[in-house]
Each structure stands twice: as structure tokens, then as C-alpha cells.
Structure 1
């Protein structure tokens, strides 16, 4: 089962808190327990020394006259203590003993009256099990006053203090951790609320919407995500727009040549004379050739608009590309009867760009000029390097384009006239290829005064 981001954050924070607080709690408990034991031992030692000073200064005769016997201090029981005093004083759980130099007990509390003294007492702490209880006893040997004092405390009294200490330290964590888990869950849920708002914004977004996604008071960490998401959505909308436009282009541009080819084929099938059938088949073949060329141009335009050549940017020899394009178009140039000239001013003309895009640019410039000049017309391709750009010029002596209509010829499927076999795609492909190279396109009058000069300047930078 996969946890949500909210669940993962909640459990990771709780695990970190447990990993930090639990060792700290155990360390604090053991440290406090050690300090408490040392404090209780110190209290026993201090009580013994205080009792020693009181005996020395008070000059108790009972300790020096064996014939007086030993004095036993009565101790009130715990139940009686609670009934009488309505509180617990631990009186029954502490006691003391005083011995003379002959190890005879002279003074004792009732709860320790029967605890024997070792034959050779030594100052220090000891542990005893006496009358069903464990005792922690401190022995003080006073050689100056010839007395031995022992002060003891029951272990169960210490355990009660330890349990109270454990509750004081452990109970807050036992109660606090579940409460902390609830608060952490609430904090994580509130902290991830911008993600929920982002999800709602994406779910409510309609197709074709190019407005960037914006969230009020968005966290700084979420802003780069939204920027990347907006950029990705913009690229996706561009791709979808290209797909829709390409589909419309194909449907628009292929309808007429397909219909024309079908008519010629139907004519060939119904023709009674072989000569008529041959004429119809020849027309159908020409229509299919035009259809193939039209499909090739549509695909070239689609590749350029999709930036398919973007991954192939590098140093390109423009003269070599031009020679390849001329070799490719040689059959069409020969059939058209156009006088074509290629003028290059350098042996090599290197530019930074996309070879496929530059080839499409040159091919469509030459084809566009070739289709708009009459038989016997002239088309010239010129490549040269200026001070700050590499210049491509294609000049023809056709009818040209009036200045007031030159801005509109770059639109897709725009035809300057109904004549010829142009498809209105050539200059659109040229424009897109130029945009990939940050190049400028100018439509100018031919130097001879008749025709068109197309000038493309690719910046050298």
C-alpha cells in the first residue's frame, strides 16, 4: 500500500521525534535516577554526621552508661501515619542506630532495633535485607567519640521516589507523543494545502487555456514547480496546436489533388479510346506527383514547427547545403525550362544552425521562384558574407509581388495568384526556418526592376 505524501511526512516526522525524544528521555531518566540516588545517599550521610554532632554536644549519658541499657525510639506505622497525619512522611521507612565502643547498641529506632552490627564496622554504604525489606545503610565510625552511627532507608521508599520520577519524566512523553502525532498530522495537512489548491486548479483547467497557473500566497518552494508546470503546459498547448493545425492543413490541402486524381482515374476507366485513357492517366500521374510534393512540404513544415532539428544545431557549410539542394532540384529545373544560376563568393560559408532547416529554406526559396517565372525565365541564388551576417538572396524575373501585399505572403496556404501549382506553403516554411536562426527576411524588388528578390540575413553571432 502506497502512502500519500501527507502520510509519509506525518510518519517520518513522528519517527524522527521518537528517535530523538525517546533516547533523550531514557538518558534524562537514568541521569535523574543517578542524581536521586546520590542525593538520597548524601542525605543518609548527612543525617549520620548530624546525629554524631548532636550526641557529641548533648553529652548523652545513655551512650556512656551501659547499665542504663539502650533507648528505642518508637516509629509510627505507615497506615497509622496516613490516618493520623493525613499525609505520608516516610517515617516508618527510615531509621538509625547508635553503638558504643564495645559495639553495644545504645540508641535505635524501632524499625532497626534488631539489625546487628558487624564485628568490625567500617564507614561507608552497605545494602541489607532485613525483616522482608531491603535497606540502604550508611555507617559512620567516630573513633574520637567512640561511637558508631548507622542511618538506613528502605529500598521500597527509594523505589517510590524512582517511580514518581519515572512518571514525571515518562508520562509527558507517553501522553504527549500521541497528541504530538495529531498535531503533526494537522500541521502537515495545513502545510500541504497549497498542493491541494494546485490540484484543484489543474483539475478545473479547460483544454486550450494558456493562462499561467497562479496561487495566492504560494510557498517559495512551490513557485519553481508552478513555473516549470506552466512552461510544460505552454509547450503542450503549442504541440497540440501544431497537431490541430497540421490536421487541418492536411485535410485542406489534400482534398483538391485527391479529388482531381480520382476524376482523372474515373475518366481513364470510362474512356472508350486508348488515347483519351492515356491522357487521363497522365493527368492522374501528374496529380499524384503534385500530391506527393504537397505532402512533403506539409511534413517539412510540421518538422520545422515542432523544432525537430533543434537537437542537430552545429556548424553548417551553407555552400555544401546549397549544392545538395540544387542537385535534388535539378530534374525539376530541367523540365521547367528555367535558367538557373548559382553565385557563391567563397569556397566555404560556415554558419551555426540546423542543416535540415537551412536545406528546407533554400529548397523552398528556389522552388517558389521557379514556379512564378515563365518558361525561359531566370532564377539566381546568391550566397555571401556581409560584415555582421550571412546573406542568402534568391532573385527571379517573374511578376513579383506588389509592396502592399508582401506582408501577407508568409501566411500558410496564401497564394498570390490562382495560377501556377504553388500550394501557399513555401514562404511559410522559409519564415519558420529563418525564425529558428533568428534571421530576417525581406521581400524586395529585383535589381532589373521586374521580379522579386528575397533576402535572408542570418546573424553571424
Structure 2
């Protein structure tokens, strides 16, 4: 942009300067012709003009050394052939002339001023001076090609200034701008290499004064952000600690209470209380998982993880729930190891919620299948069920928090897919909601780049 601005300013200025210089040069050359004519007129006034012309003889001709003679005799150029003059009287009788002006046509009218002539292969700029007092007409001329050489030299000088100066200026400006932005590059590198959770302020050596307020503002903002995240993490931990213990204690007391002989109404009420507490515990777990993902607590350090190992751990964790639900669960993996760059806790939450969500939407003795494969530079997670599925027009809304489909038979609160979506965003993953291959049910496909590029959320809808 700087170079474009310079070009936009300097080129018009150069053109204006060129035209102005040509005008001034022409005026200077015309002034020189007029001055030479007046000088010759003064010399003639102090002499005898009639002595210049003898009766019966032609005008007195001043010899001009041509270019060839110049180079041969004088070994240098005098440019005599490019200028000339005439002296004539008021009757048009020529008295004195240079050899190159001997054939110059006489003027039609005797008026002082400038004229342009073309004769003997050259254009001429001629100034005519009419001296009525002494009856003398002086004509002083200069060849146009001589003038063009001067203007050409000027144009070359001006053009070379632009042609050489602008690229040189572009290089210097580019170097200066690059040098000026080098502290910003160092700041970018410092921000990119900053470890998550670090409270070490950013420091730039030899930073320019203009950048110091930016660095101070960044350090202040990062400090406030870390404080907010720390409060969020502490809140999540406190909630987990303060709620899990009384919930677990209450569940134990209810189990103890229902182990004895109780009236049918009391036993039914206690059973309902147990189910309510179980749902409350599940909801708290989901809320805490979502809070950890939103606050970034689960993404402290990205590292190499084995997706198959994470899936096996999640399946082991959900084994009691799978056994109680009677769901026919299958796990398909084609490679023993499927490693990628990611966050283990977030991937575990993604798999756990996908499996639980599928379990809640299949009928009794329904089928849920988890498949892990690698396609090129991506890891692909497929969770397929034989439930009622989700119509295409409602698939975009299922990722909203607390949204529940009418076909859900579980005790969830519509947070599962929100957790899945956030975990996918942390890995730059793409989520696709597709029809199951059997034609009934839903297939949720998550495509995760193995390099683990963060924050590229995308939800696709389609049919296979």
C-alpha cells in the first residue's frame, strides 16, 4: 500500500515536472534566440549595414563548419550547423546570412515574433526582429532537432529518476517496513509458544515505544483471562466436590433404607427418590463436563493420544450401564493403534456422550455400534444405532443445549451433543449426521484431523 501511494503521488508529480521543465526549456531557448537577435541588432546599429552589401554582389555569407569538418579539423563538435541568422533590409534585400540560412525563405510579412520553418530536411524555430528605426530585419534560428536533443536529455534524466528511484524506494520501504514489523513477529511467536495456563508476562527485548502499550495491554488481558479460567476451574472442582459427596451419601442411605421390610408405598417412594437422585447426579456430571470444556480445563496441553485406547477406557467405564440397558453394543476397530494430536479428556467426553446418546434412542435390545478408522490424514468415528433416527430438517437443532428429541428414552437433559460439539471444536473436527446404512436409525460421524487443528467447528447434514 505504501508503494502504491508513493507511485500514485510521484508519477503525477514527475509528469507535471516533466511538462513544466519542457515549457521552461522552450521559453529559455526562445529567449536565447531573441536575445541573440537583439545583440546582433545592436552591433549592426553601431556599424554600417550598407557596407555589408556591395552593389552587384550577393549577400555576405558567413561560413559554417559542418559536422564532418568539425570532427576532422577540430576533433570536437561546435554545433555551428544547428544555429543560424539572416540580416535583411526592409525591401527584403539580404545583406548578411550564415551558410545554413542562405536558402531560408523570406518572410511574407515583416512582423516581429516566432515562426516555424521546414527546409533542407530540418525543422527550424526562427525569431524575427524588425528594427524600423534602422531599416533592418534580423532573423535568428535554431534547429528543432537540437531542441529535441535537449528535451530528450531532460526526459531521460527525469525518467531514469522514476525508473531507478521507484524500485529502489520500494526496496528501501519494504526493508524499513519489514524491520519495523519485526517486533510484531516476535510478539506473534511469543503468543504462539505461550503455554496454556502460563502467567509469565510477555517480554520483548528492544521493543519500539509504539509497541510497549500493546504488550502491556496484552499482559493485562492475559492475566485477567487466566484469573477467570482459574475461577472457573475452581468453581467446577468445588461443585464436583460439594455435590458428589452428599449425593453419594444420600444414595447410600436410600439403599440402606430400601434393604429392609417396607410398605409398598414407602418402597415405591424411595425408589422414585433413588431414580431422581441418579438423574440429578447424571445432570451434574454433564454440566461439569461442559463447563470444563468451555473453560479449557480439559485442554491444558495438547499431546499425542491413542484414540482406540481412549475408546476402550470409555467402554470399560460404561460397561455396567451397557449391561443394565440390555443394548447390543459392538466395537469395530481396524488398527491396533490410532494416534492423533488432541486432548484426552475431551475425546473421552466425546465418545462417552455419543455412546450414551445412542443408547437413549434405541428400543429394548437395540443395537449400537462404535467404529474407529483412519482415512488419509483423518481419524473417523462412527456411532450407529437402529433407533428412530432424526429427520433431516431437525438435525441442525439437536446440538442446542437442553434440546431433547421426543424419541429419547433416557434420563438425559439434552447436553450430550453439546458436549460432543464443543469437544469436536477443540480438535477442528467435522460432525456429520447421516442415515444408518440399514435405512433405520442414525449414524453420527466425527472426522478428526490427525494433526489436531483446533477450533474449526462444522456440522454437516447428509444422507449416505
TM-score normalised by length of structure 1: 0.55
SS in 1 for 2:95: strand
Instruction: State the alpha-carbon separation in 1 of the partners of residues 268 and 209 from structure 2.
Output: 73
Moved over 6 A (4+): none
Q: Quick check: 127-136 or 152-161, which moved more? A: 127-136
Match of 1:148 in 2: 137
Q: Which residue of 2 aligns with 1:45?
A: 34
State the match for 2:221 in structure 1: 232
Measure how far apart 1:60 and its partner are. 5.3
Distance 1:80 1:269, change over 3 A: farther
Contact 1:99 1:149 in 2 (8 A): yes
Describe how 1:86-97 pairs up with structure 2 within 5 A: 86-97=75-86
The aligned residue for residue 70 of structure 2 is: 81
Task: Specify which of 226, 250, 257 is matched with residue 239 of structure 2.
Answer: 250
Judging changes above 3 Å, is the alpha-carbon distance between structure 1 residues 284 and 114 closer, same or farther for their aligned structure 2 residues? Answer: same
More displaced, 51-60 or 137-146? 51-60
The alignment status of 1:198 with 2:187, answered yes or no, reads yes
Q: Secondary structure at the match of 1:263?
A: helix
Q: Distance in 2 between matches of 1:120 and 1:255?
A: 119
Give yes or no for contact 1:213–1:226 (8 Å, CA) kept in 2. yes
Q: What is the number of equivalent residue pairs in this alignment? A: 288
Listed as ranges, the matches of 1:161-310 within 5 Å are 161-267=150-256, 270-271=259-260, 273-274=262-263, 278=267, 281=270, 288=277
Mapped partners of 2:53, 2:68: distance in 1: 36
Query: CA 1:54 to 1:286, structure 2 compared with 1: closer, same or farther past 3 Å?
Result: closer
Whole-angstrom distance in 1 between the partners of 2:72 and 2:235: 99
Q: Which secondary structure does the structure 2 equivalent of 1:65 belong to?
A: coil
Structure 2: give runs of 5+ residues left out of the alignment. 296-464
2:87 corresponding residue in structure 1: 98
Q: Does 1:137 align with 2:122?
A: no
Cα deviation, 1:263-321, whole Å, max 9, x if unaligned, reads: 345446654543896499299679959x89xx8xx99xx9xxx9xxxxxxxxxxxxxxx
The alpha carbon displacement at 1:105 in A equals 1.4
Q: Is the 8 A contact 1:201 1:213 kept in 2?
A: yes
Stretch deviating more after TM superposition (271-280 or 235-244):
271-280
Give me the whole-angstrom Cα distance separating, in 2, the residues matched to 1:182 and 1:32: 28
Greater Rg over alpha carbons, structure: 1
TM-score, normalisation: structure 2:
0.55
Q: Which residue among 63, 67, 81 is the counterpart of 2:56?
A: 67
Structure 1 residues without counterparts, runs of 5 or longer: 1-11, 307-461
CA distance in 2, matches of 1:116, 1:264: 132
Q: Give the superposed CA RMSD.
A: 3.5
**2:6 aligned with 1:17:** yes
Distance 1:276-1:124 versus aligned 2 partners, 3 A rule? closer
Instruction: Check whether the contact 1:135–1:155 (CA below 8 A) recurs between aligned residues.
Output: yes
1:114 is matched with which residue? 103
Instruction: Tell me the residue number matched to 1:54.
Output: 43
Evaluate the alpha carbon distance shift between residue 181 and residue 83 of structure 1 in structure 2; reply closer, same or farther with a 3 A threshold.
farther
Contact 2:60–2:95 (CA under 8 A) maintained in structure 1: yes
Change (3 A) 1:144 1:177: same
